[in-house]
Structure 1
């Protein structure tokens, strides 16, 4: 299995497509050069999000003057340009984690730094439990092994009450009304970008860029019962450095959980993002710069791990 790639722009951005094990066609984008000596990055978006969320960060990482790197972004099944699944039961963590592993293999990558936003971070932790060796480092964007039920209830309400929009002005207004409490500091230009990251255009009108059947997976969660935690999956990444991004106003990743992650993991750093909630967006240059710096540190740690793993030469 391999990726089918097509080049779109002079930024060396490629669109890719591959077939999942059940026959569904999945797609995404690749930024940067394969010949980069730095660790590649594999980005996994949130529950109803898509590859567009990562474009500003991907461009920053691919064009880094000191540490340019290959960036692979996957649209999970039912999101963005990937095919929708006729069986909504397949919108589950294990299926999507295996899709991501197949994407990585199809791209010919043995390991990568995973950047997972919300649901994408849950997929990253699941992958760590399934195949820890593919994770050379991880960035968990506003997600951890314990999910705040209050935030999940907000997302359920957001999805269940979503109404069709008829124009881009409507789309921007809808995005503001649904998310202003999480992102009070966004500029008008950033709200417009947020809308275009959430909707796609069909017949001159914006439509949601995900399969509404994904909401069924959230509807099935019984919030009257304690949510299961994922500490074993998180700790399956103990061999690699982890960066946790937490939105200052997040209602999904509690500050106490984020701090506990840094204590339980041997190499975990927490950065709290001011003025953002769930989940911090890569529309802010300063955040992308911080991530680029942390990934460069992960490169060095990875090189050191490889050096320690090499057998000593026999000089006898």
Structure 2
């Protein structure tokens, strides 16, 4: 069975260095024959991919790396929350790829992690050879961003992991029909302990600054999409308000002309823990 280890490196912002944490999964008894990076959504962290990472390491013999984007999980925070944004995230992921010492990677990204993957894949001489975008595309509707803005950065206080679990299972019900154990896993890795002993969600509330200081509008990245040359798999929760059916269909017709995989019991965004979802990613990356 695959084994997981935890690692860190340093990223650099305009105000200095910050810690970046990641987990690395390796197939039993050997190094990976390829490297896959799995990058999470806005308020989540790399441990969301434990099930997928173990599966890909075992089935494909891959090294699978799951970073915590700065401000989330075990990674450090930024002194100035205005610096949270895609320029910083892209620079940090470039530093991660350099640390991994590989010429190419395959990329799996959920929501924000998918946008990071798209932006990296669109660059000249990109190291990304295959891209999976989970419930996100080159057009993000204002209505979906308005919904996300109602909860990101609200900073709820919890007194037990059980309370965290109940909160996450309600807020992220669109992840799909997860088992009790899967919700427990998300809760176990989804909180930070505050100095007073209470619990908070495992992300810096400063990541919400963009939602609080700028008018929320549609995000149009079709020019970025048109620059991607590698094969793309687009996964869509069929109840998603962020990746609509119209946008998903257009993704199969424009730019890299993605292959589309729908998840019936999910919205934004499928958790990539169900066997059918695992198989879709595995077969595409194979």
TM-score by length of 2: 0.90
1:192 alignment partner in structure 2? 184
Are positions 1:262 and 2:252 aligned together? yes
| Farther-moved stretch of structure 1 (135-144 vs 211-220) | 211-220
- Root-mean-square deviation over aligned CA pairs: 2.1
Rounded Cα–Cα distance in structure 1 between residues aligned with 2:193 and 2:25:
23
The within-5 A match list for 1:76-155 is: 76-155=69-148
Rounded Cα–Cα distance in structure 2 between residues aligned with 1:131 and 1:19:
25
Give the match's secondary structure for 1:63.
helix
TM-score by length of 1: 0.82
Following superposition, the deviation at residue 91 of structure 1 comes to: 0.7
Following superposition, the deviation at residue 171 of structure 1 comes to: 1.3
User: Across the two proteins, how many residue pairs are aligned to each other?
Assistant: 280
2:32 alignment partner in structure 1? 36
Contact 1:135 1:237 in 2 (8 A): no
Q: Evaluate the alpha carbon distance shift between residue 25 and residue 189 of structure 1 in structure 2; reply closer, same or farther with a 3 A threshold.
A: closer
Following superposition, the deviation at residue 175 of structure 1 comes to: 1.7
Aligned mate of 1:164, from 157, 170, 174: 157
Contact 1:247 1:273 in 2 (8 A): yes
Unaligned runs of 5+ in 1: 1-9, 297-316
Rounded Cα–Cα distance in structure 1 between residues aligned with 2:57 and 2:249:
31
Show structure 1 runs of 4+ deviating over 4 A. Answer: 200-205
The within-5 A match list for 1:219-234 is: 219-223=212-216, 226-234=217-225
Aligned mate of 2:58, from 63, 70, 77: 63
Rounded Cα–Cα distance in structure 2 between residues aligned with 1:219 and 1:132:
35
Specify the structure having the higher radius of gyration (Cα): 1
Rounded Cα–Cα distance in structure 2 between residues aligned with 1:132 and 1:118:
24
Contact 1:249 1:275 in 2 (8 A): yes
Unaligned runs of 5+ in 2: none
Following superposition, the deviation at residue 291 of structure 1 comes to: 1.0
Rounded Cα–Cα distance in structure 2 between residues aligned with 1:162 and 1:151:
20
Are positions 1:274 and 2:267 aligned together? no
1:310 alignment partner in structure 2? none
Aligned mate of 1:47, from 24, 42, 47: 42
Rounded Cα–Cα distance in structure 2 between residues aligned with 1:201 and 1:119:
25
Following superposition, the deviation at residue 286 of structure 1 comes to: 2.3
1:235 alignment partner in structure 2? 226
Rounded Cα–Cα distance in structure 2 between residues aligned with 1:160 and 1:253:
22
Aligned mate of 1:291, from 278, 281, 284: 281
Following superposition, the deviation at residue 19 of structure 1 comes to: 1.4
Q: Evaluate the alpha carbon distance shift between residue 221 and residue 132 of structure 1 in structure 2; reply closer, same or farther with a 3 A threshold.
A: farther
Rounded Cα–Cα distance in structure 2 between residues aligned with 1:252 and 1:150:
8
Higher share in strand: 2
